[in-house]
């Protein structure tokens, strides 16, 4: 009897696996079709200068609106694209769209583009990026490539050579989702970056936990001591803005300023006109 129910469980497990494999294969086929028929989209999210309140950069984020499943987020479909061997052409397309759009926005100092680990490890990456810059006439100094710690789990030598080559071209490198991995600090020591993007989970803890502010304050100071620029991600609330400005964070990104949308320059109607003034002591949660 016990044997039988064990067998039953094994069969159910097998059925689950089969369904999963089938679903994945379907999604891959759908994604390939969407990409080939030009059904993917790009959106931009503004990045705001913490001192002036002006939009100085923008991050391109890829979008997939599935005909029956609705919107599928990049956290879900980028791994599918990697598995399907689609990520290189897809990533190249995103990069091209980003550079072309930013070329039309001289007010933007830079445009930020995410690279998946598979893209980063592609031996042709440097040539591909160089080709896109040439084709769009976009200067490398205005391109920021965002990578996450996961690209370093593979091979130290290849990764650091790759980083150096990109930086030699004048491209800047941001370490995305800073603080969420296993050894963010040791990566800062081993590799040369231009900026870090503090993950939303840390911004969320400003005002939520008593040590939230202490941690973000330490991270900003550390980054600045290493000569790195700091962007805070996922900024949604006014008190977070005030705290981050007081702590000397360089740039901010989040729904408070604007959701990803078609226009790289568009920010929500937030009052930033008075931002030339220092943050007032009463409104800042950091004061005292
Ligand atoms: P990310 O690079 O860390 O991008 C930030 C994510 O946070 C975006 O989600 C953005 O829409 C979301 N976000 C920004 N501000 C706020 C906020 O105030 N509140 C909340 N709740 N969320 C906010 P999205 O667009 O779903 O992208 C998820 C991830 O997918 C990105 O994380 C990035 O790692 C990856 N991704 C997006 N586009 C691309 C791409 O073109 N290529 C590659 N390789 N990866 C991409
Ligand atoms: Mg990013
Ligand atoms: Mg991030
Ligand atoms: Mg992310």
Residue nearest to atom 4 of ligand 1 (CA): 61
Estimate to the nearest angstrom the gap between the alpha carbon of 257 and the chain centroid.
Answer: 16
Q: Does residue 140's CB lie within 6 angstroms of at least one atom of ligand 1?
A: no
What does the longest C-alpha to C-alpha distance in the chain come to?
A: 77
pLDDT, tens only, 62-111: 999 999 999 999 999 999 999 999 999 999 999 999 999 999 999 999 99
pLDDT at 288: 37
For ligand 1, what atom is nearest to the CA of residue 197?
Answer: 3
pLDDT at 76: 95
Give the pairing of strands 251-252 and 40-49. antiparallel
pLDDT at 134: 97
pLDDT at 156: 82
Name the residue of 74, 195, 260 to mutate for ligand 1: max ligand atoms within 8 A of Cβ: 74
Tell me the average confidence (pLDDT) per consecutive run of 10 residues in the chain, 288 residues long. 76 90 94 97 98 96 95 96 97 98 96 96 97 97 96 83 96 95 84 96 89 94 96 96 97 97 88 65 46
Cα–Cα distance between 215 and 246 in angstroms, integer?
14
Number of neighbours of residue 43 by Cβ within 10 angstroms: 16
What number is the ipTM of this complex?
A: 0.98
For ligand 1, what atom is nearest to the CA of residue 74?
Answer: 30
Contacts of 145 (CB under 8 A, 6+ apart): 112, 113, 115, 129, 166, 171, 172, 173, 174
Handedness of CA 222, 160, 44, 34 (dihedral sign): negative
For ligand 4, the distance from its centroid to the CA atom of residue 288, given in whole angstroms, is 33
- Phi then psi dihedrals of residue 133, to 5 deg: -65, -40
Residue nearest to atom 41 of ligand 1 (CA): 62
Q: Does residue 48's CB lie within 6 angstroms of at least one atom of ligand 1?
A: no
What's the predicted TM-score (pTM) here?
A: 0.92
pLDDT at 273: 64
pLDDT at 287: 40
pLDDT at 125: 97
Residue nearest to atom 45 of ligand 1 (CA): 114
For ligand 3, the distance from its centroid to the CA atom of residue 200, given in whole angstroms, is 7
Q: Does residue 47's CB lie within 6 angstroms of at least one atom of ligand 1?
A: no
Estimate to the nearest angstrom the gap between the alpha carbon of 26 and the chain centroid.
Answer: 27
pLDDT at 92: 98
Q: Does residue 34's CB lie within 6 angstroms of at least one atom of ligand 1?
A: no
């Amino acid at each position: 009897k016990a044997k039988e129910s064990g067998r039953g469980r094994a069969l159910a497990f097998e059925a689950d696996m089969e369904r999963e494999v089938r679903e994945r294969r379907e999604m891959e086929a759908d994604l390939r079709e969407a990409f080939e028929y030009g059904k993917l989209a790009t959106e931009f999210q503004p990045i705001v200068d913490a001192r002036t309140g002006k939009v100085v950069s923008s991050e391109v984020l890829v979008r997939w609106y599935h005909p029956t499943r609705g919107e599928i987020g990049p956290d879900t479909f980028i791994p599918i694209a990697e598995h399907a061997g689609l990520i290189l052409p897809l990533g190249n397309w995103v990069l091209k769209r980003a550079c072309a759009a930013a070329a039309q926005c001289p007010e933007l100092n830079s445009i930020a583009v995410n690279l998946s680990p598979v893209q980063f490890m592609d031996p042709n990456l440097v040539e591909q990026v160089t080709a896109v810059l040439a084709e769009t006439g976009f200067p490398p100094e205005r391109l920021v490539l965002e990578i996450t710690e996961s690209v370093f789990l593979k091979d130290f030598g290849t990764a650091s050579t790759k980083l150096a080559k990109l930086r030699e071209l004048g491209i800047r490198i941001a370490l995305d989702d800073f603080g969420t991995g296993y050894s963010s600090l040791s990566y800062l020591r081993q590799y040369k970056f231009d900026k870090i993007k503090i993950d939303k989970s840390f911004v969320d803890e400003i005002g939520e936990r008593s040590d939230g502010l202490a941690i973000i304050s330490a991270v900003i100071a550390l980054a600045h001591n290493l000569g790195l620029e700091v962007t805070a991600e996922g900024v949604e609330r006014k008190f977070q803005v005030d705290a981050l400005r007081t702590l000397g964070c360089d740039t901010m990104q989040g729904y408070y300023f604007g959701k990803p949308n078609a226009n790289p320059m568009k920010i929500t109607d937030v009052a930033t006109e008075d931002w030339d003034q220092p943050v007032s002591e009463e409104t800042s949660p950091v004061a005292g």
